[in-house]
Structure 1
Amino acid sequence: MRCGGVLPEVDVVYETWGALSPAKDNAVLILTGLSPGAHARSSAEDPTPGWWEEMIGPGQAIDTNRFHVVCVNSLGSCHGSTGPASIDPRTGERYRLKFPVLTLEDIAAAAHATLEQVGLGRLRAVVGPSLGGMTALAYAILFPDDVRDLVTISSATRATPFATAIRSLQRECIRSDPEWRKGDYPPDRGPETGLRLARKLGLITYRSAQEWRERFGRERISGAGPTEMFGPEFEIEAYLEMHAQKFARSFDANCYLYLSRAMDLFDVAEHGGSVETGLGRIRAERTLVVGVETDFLFPIDQQGEIARILASAGRRVTMARLPSIQGHDSFLVDMDRFGPVIAEFLCPD
């Protein structure tokens, strides 16, 4: 691991769609955000809709008629890959906080090792949104000869102080829950309140004020009033509560802490002493950088920085500034804008 420590065994879950060409030159790697698993698209084996269902598939922006698409679940996650919730084979107990410090470079290295295991070397493209976009940068820096094209979406070379402050507060929500028990909670009874509050704070920052205003306005919850003093009364409160409860029941708190901190630890400048030197290690033939004007978690000037520095280093770069109102989460919902941009980049002919 980059910051020390060893994992004696590592499992990495991945899913694939589309046929691999005889020359093995059409593989596209998808690196995920903080919470999704490897199930980015439905398949015969698992027909449930994936988290990027409208982006990946036959005739879609990431066209599985042309590309062999591989989505890897991040190291440190709780969706099958080895993480804090996994069993340490040396002790027979869950790693919990004995899991080594996790970095995005570790996630990139685990993805790279996974692809090597299945015989994939140089990739047609590496695509990543949010945390996945930062991991895509790490991948292209660590393995420059294995990335032909690079797509970073709503990403950055390092977190802003604002983003770090938000994530720090999210982590404090979890650690302040008595049920967290310093990370030593039983599998069936974790810090649900802390995780629920952390998710609510995240949801608020993932969308824009403009969308909240247009979507919810001053609408109140229909039916009876609050069941408790100061309880939810507005539709926006009910929306946050519903999604927070769903998340808290499906995600491990320690995994959340590790992945959240990994985003804050990432800094391209650590690869050579400056952001310019770090990005200068990327040798992708072409790079697409996508940003959203209403994203205040990863402000669009951060994507502009990536594009500007790569262009100054003589790389072929396309910068797409999208006016989506859904903020940071736009890449998950605004397919009308994101789809054509990514499709044109991957298949310019």
Structure 2
Amino acid sequence: MKAVQRMLAAGRRPPRHVNVCIRTNHARWHSSTASKSAAVAAAAETAGKSTAGSNVNPQMAFPCLDALESRTSTLLDRTKRQHSGGSGPEPSYTSGGHQTFTSSAPLTLDWGGTLPSYNIAYETWGTLNATASNAILLHTGLSASSHAHSTDSNPAAGWWEKFIGEGPGFALDTSRFFVVCTNVIGGCYGSTGPGSIDPTVTGTEDGNDRRYATRFPIVTLEDMVRAQFALLDGLGVKKLYASVGSSMGGMQSLAAGVLFPERVGRVVSISGCARSHPYSIAMRFVQRQVLMSDPNWRRGNYYTTIPPHIGMKLAREIATVTYRSGPEWELRFSRRRADASQPPALCPDFLIETYLDHAGEKWCLEYDANSLLYISKAMDLFDLSRSVQDAAAARRATKSTNSDAQCTLTLPEQDYTEQPDTDSVESGSSDNVKVNDRVPPQDLVDGLRNLRDTPTLIIGVASDILFPAWQQREIADALRLAGAREVTHVELGEDVSLFGHDTFLLDTENVGGLVGRFLQDDGGSAAV
């Protein structure tokens, strides 16, 4: 167990076979908040002595809340030191050494508004060949940085470390390909986002006033892709060998092929979708609501004070529930408690609870809260249907300013009432037809038509609850209906992977093998 604790402390994932009983949380709570816990215990003892009878129920201890209060106090102290000339309270949100592309050309956005200039953090692996024809653009998930693999300037393992390397045994073979990965616009790992300085605002004494914060305009995944292609222009890459991505990156990978069909040789989309569905929108909405309800969020203006670490922790715990699968958790945790010899507690008690608590703890100060809000909203808005693309193009053509794009949304005066199922009407389905059997709407088929000449690999995972396998089937079906001739669709069953949505981070044999074979095959089809 001590070895596991050391691995967790170092930020490394324990081996899969280890049932992670994260007792470190309990140890941390009691060690970092001993005085608070002692005060609670003393108060409970005093209350017990002053009450008649010998069967008085003692006050329950809440070490998990003590830990949150302790961190708030620490951050408050750092804020005071800042105003005394010390360092600020906010994390640096950096992933280490990376390169930066700066565009002085404005980026006109899908929902109105403009970024007058912007930075994109990126990293590369491999060598661009003389004809600049071997570049692969690797798209990230929601919270990832550009650091997909270790580099000389940042030797730490990247988020896709085992998938990238020299030789045909890797998904992305750097002896053959030039791999580019960016932090997306709206992010907090070096690219322009809500935490960046707004160049249109003059300096003031309070640095918080110069941050975009929630003055940052709404962005879409397509906006992010257009910014990435500006970077490719700067690198001299006129056509990608492939666009590759997983999760949100799988959505961006499809968007890249749709927006720039003449510049993308092939597309790989893993555990992604062609349009966000209600369940994933609902889960991200709840995360945002939890985060925005943290009083320290301050409507986004927290950069010189305490960040909303409690809301961020809870939001991450909710997200983690959607990342992994029920079958895996049954095998990994079952109904075991962290310490069955102790009475039940309202703080993390079952192993699954300590796992979720740990996930929230290690992330709550490692990512910018506003970036989470903006990027998760961009995922919600994603829809490659033809009518949605046309409407966005029309808005961009007006070149509206940020002031034109201000939100005027008000809450409805009446409670929600059931709406007609327009998708069912469009697809000709009825209440008796399962969602898995639905025909993709014609609007979506038309929206994917630009990919009909692009070899495409679509990978889904049966145990994925965030991006369920029917969504990958919808992509493949829509592509075929659009006239695509080279579509490879693979669904990994529970007999192959129980790791749910996170399979794309863990399965180098199946996910990595499929991607590697697809990219090595000049014909564009993977051997399955």
Compute the TM-score of the two structures, normalised by the length of structure 2: 0.64
More displaced, 66-75 or 136-145?
A: 136-145
Deviation per residue, 1:242-261 (Å, 9 max, x gap): 12111111001110000000
Q: How far off its partner does 1:222 sit?
A: 4.4
Equivalent positions of 1:89-168 (< 5 A) are 89-91=199-201, 92=203, 93-168=210-285
Answer yes or no: is the 8 Å Cα contact 2:188–2:367 preserved in 1: yes
Which residue does the alignment assign to 1:43? 151
Look up the SS of the partner of 2:459 in the other structure.
strand
**Counterpart pick for 2:377 among 239, 261, 265:** 261
The residue type paired with residue 23 of structure 1 is T
Which residue does the alignment assign to 1:84? 194
More displaced, 54-63 or 183-192?
A: 183-192
Structure 2 Cα separation of the partners of residues 190 and 87 of structure 1: 17
The residue type paired with residue 296 of structure 1 is I
**Counterpart pick for 1:210 among 317, 327, 333:** 327
Answer yes or no: is the 8 Å Cα contact 2:271–2:461 preserved in 1: yes
Deviation per residue, 1:288-324 (Å, 9 max, x gap): 0000001111111111111112123133110011121
Which residue does the alignment assign to 2:173? 63
Q: How far off its partner does 1:219 sit?
A: 2.4
Answer yes or no: is the 8 Å Cα contact 1:140–1:284 preserved in 2: no
Gaps of 5+ in 2: 1-108, 204-209, 391-441, 523-528
Structure 2 Cα separation of the partners of residues 155 and 31 of structure 1: 11
Q: How far off its partner does 1:158 sit?
A: 1.0
**Counterpart pick for 1:8 among 96, 109, 116:** 116
RMSD: 1.6
Deviation per residue, 1:2-22 (Å, 9 max, x gap): 111111220001100001111
**Counterpart pick for 2:351 among 235, 249, 260:** 235
**Counterpart pick for 1:34 among 128, 131, 142:** 142
Structure 2 Cα separation of the partners of residues 223 and 210 of structure 1: 23
Which residue does the alignment assign to 1:298? 467
Sequence identity, in percent? 45
Residue 271, structure 1, aligned to residue 389, structure 2? yes
More displaced, 77-86 or 282-291?
A: 282-291
More displaced, 276-285 or 74-83?
A: 276-285
Deviation per residue, 1:231-273 (Å, 9 max, x gap): 1112211111112111111001110000000000111111358
Structure 1 Cα separation of the partners of residues 368 and 341 of structure 2: 33
Structure 2 Cα separation of the partners of residues 26 and 278 of structure 1: 27
Structure 1 Cα separation of the partners of residues 465 and 356 of structure 2: 19
Which residue does the alignment assign to 2:451? 282
Deviation per residue, 1:96-119 (Å, 9 max, x gap): 110011101111111111111111
Distance 1:225 1:116, change over 3 A: farther
Q: How far off its partner does 1:229 sit?
A: 4.8
The residue type paired with residue 271 of structure 1 is Q
The residue type paired with residue 262 of structure 1 is A
**Counterpart pick for 1:345 among 495, 507, 518:** 518
Structure with the largest fraction of strand:
1
Which residue does the alignment assign to 2:337? 220
More displaced, 183-192 or 230-239?
A: 183-192
The residue type paired with residue 178 of structure 2 is H
The residue type paired with residue 518 of structure 2 is F
Structure 2 Cα separation of the partners of residues 213 and 341 of structure 1: 28
Look up the SS of the partner of 2:279 in the other structure.
helix
Deviation per residue, 1:201-246 (Å, 9 max, x gap): 10000111001111111222249848x9511112211111112111
Aligned residues: 348
Structure 2 Cα separation of the partners of residues 135 and 244 of structure 1: 26
Answer yes or no: is the 8 Å Cα contact 2:454–2:484 preserved in 1: no
Distance 1:255 1:284, change over 3 A: farther
The residue type paired with residue 30 of structure 1 is L
**Counterpart pick for 1:314 among 484, 488, 497:** 484
**Which is higher, the Rg of structure 1 or of structure 2?**
2
Answer yes or no: is the 8 Å Cα contact 1:148–1:284 preserved in 2: no
**Counterpart pick for 1:175 among 267, 289, 292:** 292
Look up the SS of the partner of 1:12 in the other structure.
strand
Answer yes or no: is the 8 Å Cα contact 1:149–1:284 preserved in 2: no
Answer yes or no: is the 8 Å Cα contact 2:452–2:484 preserved in 1: no
Which residue does the alignment assign to 2:38? none
The residue type paired with residue 55 of structure 1 is F
Structure 2 Cα separation of the partners of residues 78 and 187 of structure 1: 16
The structure showing larger relative contact order (alpha-carbon pairs under 8 Å, at least 6 residues apart) is: 1
The residue type paired with residue 333 of structure 1 is L
More displaced, 310-319 or 159-168?
A: 310-319
Look up the SS of the partner of 1:87 in the other structure.
coil
Look up the SS of the partner of 2:487 in the other structure.
strand
Which residue does the alignment assign to 1:75? 185
